[in-house]
Structure 1
Amino acid sequence: MKIAVVFYSMYGHMHAMAEAALEGAVTVPGTEGGLYRFPETLDPKVLEMLGATEVQKKLSSIPEVTLDVIKDADGIIFGIPTRFGNMPGQARAFFDTTGQLWAQGALIGKVGSVMSSSSTQHGGQESTILTSIVTLMHHGMVIVGLPYSFQGQMTIDEISGSSPYGASTITGGKGERMPSENELSAARFQGEYVAEIAKKLST
């Protein structure tokens, strides 16, 4: 059974969450996992202006997602950061290339799940996950979120992302805050849960 974790990360926050989700997924016996990037659409000069060049260099060793990757996976976890309450253009551009998979019904019955991030507590994590799910449902995917059996989303001891819709992290206005251990635990839990559901559906 294959689980693909596909993410976009400008400053490294979603990369950390994606790695955690993959860690959780491969704890399920018989699970193979792979980490993939949404292709970058911004000009290198723009990335430099945004202070993202060094992070992008580090992420360049991670393969870009292809249609075959998501077609071959039994479950896919998408790490989609927030841009004005919605997905970034890099993710949208890739999803807009999946028409042939839709026409073939290639993703019907596969598990789909979404994680997110935003700079502030109420900066669009939930709306980004919910609007991203719309695309997955058009593909006929079985949507899996983050159930309340993950008790970490009940915490009031710290500022923390995550909701029943999916794991998430808060990055800070300048991207200075990396995912907390509670947020990483949410991503691991979601990865394991997705793999468990995908395993049940594939047997």
Structure 2
Amino acid sequence: MPAKIAVIYYSMYGHIKQLASKAVEGAKTAGATVDLYQFPETLADDILGKMHAPPKDAAVPFITPNDLKEYDGFIFAFPTRYGRAVAQVSAFFDATGSLWATGALTGKFASTIVSTASQNGGQETTHLTTIPYFAHMGIIYVPIGYGDQNLLNLNEIHGGSPYGASTHAGGDGSRQPSELEKGVAEYQGKYFAGIVGTFVAGKAAAQ
């Protein structure tokens, strides 16, 4: 039985969505069954309009807390806000209290993809400040290390760290994810799916 993985993103201007889509591609090459979701929006339409945010992709469903129970692992992809996850992600995590109370996510796996405006905008802190949620839920966090040697590339400015893929959007959002950054996201999807798939196969064989 292949691993079931949900890639769940929040992306106001499309930067994170690009990385999430590459993670989906990578996970599928590892043989996983993969579904793409969005975090629910918390901002009103008039506020989004003032922020010149494009419409959400109607083809990608919004995740619900109960959906999480159906998957072996999750790749969460979202921008940073002052060194931590944006409010939309925090609001969703806060809505999973019943899953915490029942231990419904214990033993599942998670990995994170992030973005910032600048090089020093808090990419690693955003990964780090999300790990406590995983700990409370009993979710096993999977970093990527330096398995993708592109993370060591010093010839260009790029996101990405041993915690996971990331991108720099620029202060005005004009910078798009580079090929290197998208490649790291694809690697992350493949690596994560391989880890989760190995666990799922081993668990099935032990039963």
> What is the TM-score normalised by the length of structure 2?
0.93
Contact residue 114 and residue 133 of structure 1 kept, 8 A: no
User: Does 2:182 correspond to 1:180?
Assistant: no
Q: State percent identity of aligned pairs.
A: 46
**2:15 matched residue in structure 1:** 13
Deviation at 1:70, TM superposition (A): 1.3
**2:52 matched residue in structure 1:** 51
**1:165 matched residue in structure 2:** 163
Secondary structure, counterpart of 1:82 in structure 2: strand
Contact residue 78 and residue 114 of structure 1 kept, 8 A: yes
Q: Which runs of 5+ in 2 are unaligned?
A: 202-207
**1:40 matched residue in structure 2:** 41
Secondary structure, counterpart of 1:90 in structure 2: helix
Q: Which amino acid aligns with 2:49?
A: E
CA distance in 2, matches of 1:17, 1:39: 18
1:146 to 138, 144, 147: 144
Q: Which amino acid aligns with 2:134?
A: L
Deviation at 1:139, TM superposition (A): 0.7
Secondary structure, counterpart of 1:81 in structure 2: strand
User: Does 2:79 correspond to 1:77?
Assistant: no
> What is the TM-score normalised by the length of structure 1?
0.95
User: Does 2:113 correspond to 1:100?
Assistant: no
Q: Which amino acid aligns with 2:8?
A: V
Secondary structure, counterpart of 1:39 in structure 2: coil
Task: Judge which range, 181-190 or 64-73, deviates more.
Answer: 64-73
CA distance in 2, matches of 1:71, 1:26: 20
Deviation at 1:134, TM superposition (A): 1.3
Deviation at 1:68, TM superposition (A): 2.7
CA distance in 2, matches of 1:198, 1:105: 19
Q: Deviations over 1:49-99 (max 9, x none)?
A: 1110x2x24x23210001232111111000021011111110011000111
**2:4 matched residue in structure 1:** 2
Contact residue 117 and residue 171 of structure 1 kept, 8 A: yes
CA distance in 1, matches of 2:119, 2:34: 30
Aligned residues: 199
Secondary structure, counterpart of 1:80 in structure 2: strand
Q: Which amino acid aligns with 1:13?
A: H
CA distance in 2, matches of 1:23, 1:171: 22
Deviation at 1:45, TM superposition (A): 0.8
What RMSD, in angstroms, separates the aligned Cα atoms of the two structures?
Answer: 0.9
Structure 1 runs (4+) deviating above 3 angstroms are: none
Secondary structure, counterpart of 1:103 in structure 2: helix
CA distance in 2, matches of 1:97, 1:72: 17
Deviation at 1:201, TM superposition (A): 1.3
1:23 to 22, 25, 28: 25
User: Does 2:191 correspond to 1:189?
Assistant: no
CA distance in 2, matches of 1:104, 1:152: 40
